[in-house]
Amino acid sequence: MDLSYNAEYEAFRQTVISFLKAHWPVPDSAGEGAADWPRPKKEAWFRKQAIEAGFLYRGVPKEFGGAEQEADILKATIIRDEFSKRRAPMEAPGIGNMMLVPTLLECGTQAQKERFVAKTLTGEYHWAQGYSEPNAGSDLASLRTRAELVEGENGLEWSITGQKIWSTLAQYAQYMFVLARTEPDAGKHAGISYLLIDLKAPGVTIRPIKQVTGGKEFCEVFFDDARTPADWIVGERGQGWTVSKATLAHERSSIGGAQTSVGLFEKLLSLAKGVNYQGVPAIEHPVIRDRLVTLEGYVQSHLYSSYRQLSMAAAKQNPGRITLMNKLINTNIGHMVADLAKDLIGDAALTMPPIKGRAEGHEKWLNQFFGSLGVAIAGGTSNIQRNIIAERGFDLPRDDAQE
């Protein structure tokens, strides 16, 4: 494992720093006179400069709005590090960039890429994910939403009928990528197709679900003969299961980064330095110190395991089960950090009002605590992740429940 960057990469780092000084000189700013702009406009302006400079969307071809740079995981890491140090915007947030764009680039038609990719990168198109159903979560392939080709006003269309649930922020999305059963006579996995649909289409009803935090981040989405063009299918008919696995791989790798764990732990340390626990500063209490040291051990292992993954990927070796383990480790650390923070805040945590809008102060930790329970479920639960690690990472026999 070699953790140092050579002179070429250090020179690249300087180029990134110079770019940031010119275009995002202090946190929360962008360019001359930008202080008065609304934040989304500032970010959009900055992203455009960063794409032109070759720093954002490096893997996306220029014809679809990306920077089209040669794959270089070390350069990508340097960019991520330097941008996050200055809190400069990275890729536009949302499931579209994270999951749909890589899937379309891998499995979509030329027309689909031209129609959807660039505007998803800039954040003009927001997407929701329509996988889970009330009776299909971990066992996703038992989904029942169905789609059939019918003659519509504009030629052949898919008619979709069924229900999705837990669709993150679907109430704000224009489009959804949906898994639907199109081949009712085929086997469980072979009968599914991956379709795109405009959520404003007639026959689509979106109902936000109210959460314990007071927010409404998920929706139920009902399809009642909702129509979408015949060519808005990604991959072949009945190949949706393979396409969906490509999407999930992107979701799982994006949930697994070590920087989140390191950043969270630093915030936990600041909290422990600022509050009292059983009458003494929390950071000096032996029980708290013990829990902090244990947690730091996990965080450091995660960090070095991610460096190992990076070194292996840079050397074009397959990091194998290390990648599989990252989401699980990250999820566990997020929960343990929030759990300790909750104990440090004490009884006040129980009396805090529901959180509306952006959480400030201690209530951020409550959000983190509840959110950490959600992360252990999103993109495949921790139990399922353990199964995958056992089966694909250690070649143990398959879990019959998933067949």
Ligand X SMILES: Cc1cc2nc3c(=O)[nH]c(=O)nc-3n(C[C@H](O)[C@H](O)[C@H](O)COP(=O)(O)OP(=O)(O)OC[C@H]3O[C@@H](n4cnc5c(N)ncnc54)[C@H](O)[C@@H]3O)c2cc1C
Question: 42 — phi, psi (to 5°)?
Answer: -60, -45
Residues 346-385, interacting with ligand X (CB under 6 A): 374, 377-378, 380-381, 383-384
Work out the number of other CB atoms within 10 angstroms of the CB of residue 203: 15
- Which residue's CB is nearer to ligand X, number 46 or number 127? 127
Contact residue for ligand X among 137, 152, 229, 257 (CB under 6 A): 137
Judged by CB under 6 A, does residue 132 bind ligand X?
Answer: yes
Judged by CB under 6 A, does residue 159 bind ligand X?
Answer: no
Of 43, 63, 251, 403, which one is the catalytic site residue?
251
Task: Please report where in the chains the tokens 């003969």 appear, as a residue.
Answer: 225
Judged by CB under 6 A, does residue 138 bind ligand X?
Answer: yes
Q: What is the DSSP letter of 157?
A: E
Whose CB is nearest to ligand X?
A: 137
- Which residue's CB is nearer to ligand X, number 138 or number 311? 138
Judged by CB under 6 A, does residue 259 bind ligand X?
Answer: no
| Annotated catalytic residue 251 | yes
Judged by CB under 6 A, does residue 254 bind ligand X?
Answer: no
SS3 content of the chain, % helix, strand, coil (to 5): 50, 15, 35
Contact residue for ligand X among 103, 129, 182, 326 (CB under 6 A): 129
- Which residue's CB is nearer to ligand X, number 67 or number 136? 136
- Which neighbouring-strand residues pair with 176? 128, 197
Q: How far is the CB of 372 from ligand X (least distance, A)?
A: 10
Helical residues (DSSP H) of 61-215, grouped into ranges: 73-85, 95, 101-107, 110-121
Contact residue for ligand X among 24, 125, 131, 177 (CB under 6 A): 131
Binding mask 383-402 for ligand X (x = CB under 6 A): xx--x-----------x-xx
| CA–CA distances in Å: residue 199 to residues 14, 38, 130, 206, 283 | 44, 27, 11, 8, 50
Residue 75: half-sphere exposure toward Cβ, Cα within 13 Å: 15
Is 282 strand, coil or helix? helix
Measuring CA to CA, which residue among 392, 364, 372, 294 is closest to residue 330?
372
For 41, the enclosing helix (H) or strand (E) is helix 39-52
- Which residue's CB is nearer to ligand X, number 168 or number 171? 168
Contact residue for ligand X among 167, 323, 326, 372 (CB under 6 A): 167
What would the two tokens of residue 252 be?
A: 């799982």
Catalytic residue annotation: 251
Q: What does the binding site for ligand X look like in residue numbers (CB under 6 A)? A: 129-132, 137-138, 166-168, 374, 377-378, 380-381, 383-384, 387, 399, 401-402
